[in-house]
């Protein structure tokens, strides 16, 4: 199974964590990669992912879509497009913003990645239904889709 590798990003684009002392003063900031190497506990890393996803949902509910998209992009790249909850939420944001080409491209990438995972037939059917809905939607004449 070949993983999809995201393009290397500029070091300044990596999210950071602010470490604070008991009084709440910021002691230093470290990248998520540094934090993971310090923690090295898979449960702590999973807990961070859950917190980031909850934060993304919070931004989504507040209709602060740019912040929600940033967090979801990070989580999707981290999981190589195989965590469908992240993909589905980002696709919904694209739909709300009338970014149908981005929604379709995201779903197609997720479909290819999830197809390689065992026991994923149900998720693949959900993606296929969503893609069919995009294809049946009457778009403006200037919107182009390619497979």
Domain boundaries, the chain: 11-136
CATH number of 11-136: 1.25.40.10
- What Rg, from alpha-carbon coordinates, does the chain have? 18
50 contacts 79 by C-beta, under 8 angstroms = no
Q: Which has the closest alpha carbon to 68: 57, 84, 76, 79?
A: 57
Residue 139 has pLDDT above 90, yes or no: no
Please give the model's pTM, rounded to 2 decimal places.
0.65
Model confidence band, residue 11 (pLDDT cutoffs 50, 70, 90)? low
Q: Which has the closest alpha carbon to 36: 17, 12, 58, 13?
A: 17
At residue 98, the pLDDT reads: 92
Mean of pLDDT values over 36-54: 76
Higher pLDDT among residues 55 and 138, named by residue: 55
Cα separation, 31 vs 27, whole angstroms: 14
Model confidence band, residue 35 (pLDDT cutoffs 50, 70, 90)? low
In the numeric block, which tokens belong to residue 60? 């989504």
Contacts of 38 (CB under 8 A, 6+ apart): 30
What does the CA dihedral 17, 70, 13, 47 come to, rounded to 10 degrees?
Answer: 30
Mean of pLDDT values over 39-54: 77
């Amino acid at each position: 199974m070949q993983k999809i590798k995201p393009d290397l990003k500029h070091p300044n684009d990596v999210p950071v964590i602010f470490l604070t002392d008991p009084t709440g003063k910021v002691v230093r900031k470290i990248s998520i990669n540094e934090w993971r190497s310090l923690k090295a506990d898979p449960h702590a890393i999973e807990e961070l992912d859950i917190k980031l996803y909850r934060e993304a949902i919070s931004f989504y509910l507040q209709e602060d879509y740019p912040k929600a998209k940033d967090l979801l992009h990070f989580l999707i790249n981290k999981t190589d497009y195989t965590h469908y909850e992240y993909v589905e939420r980002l696709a919904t944001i694209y739909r709300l913003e009338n970014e149908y080409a981005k929604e379709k491209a995201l779903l197609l990438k997720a479909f290819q990645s999830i197809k390689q995972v065992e026991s994923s037939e149900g998720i693949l059917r959900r993606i296929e239904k969503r893609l069919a809905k995009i294809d049946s939607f009457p778009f403006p004449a200037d919107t182009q889709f390619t497979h």
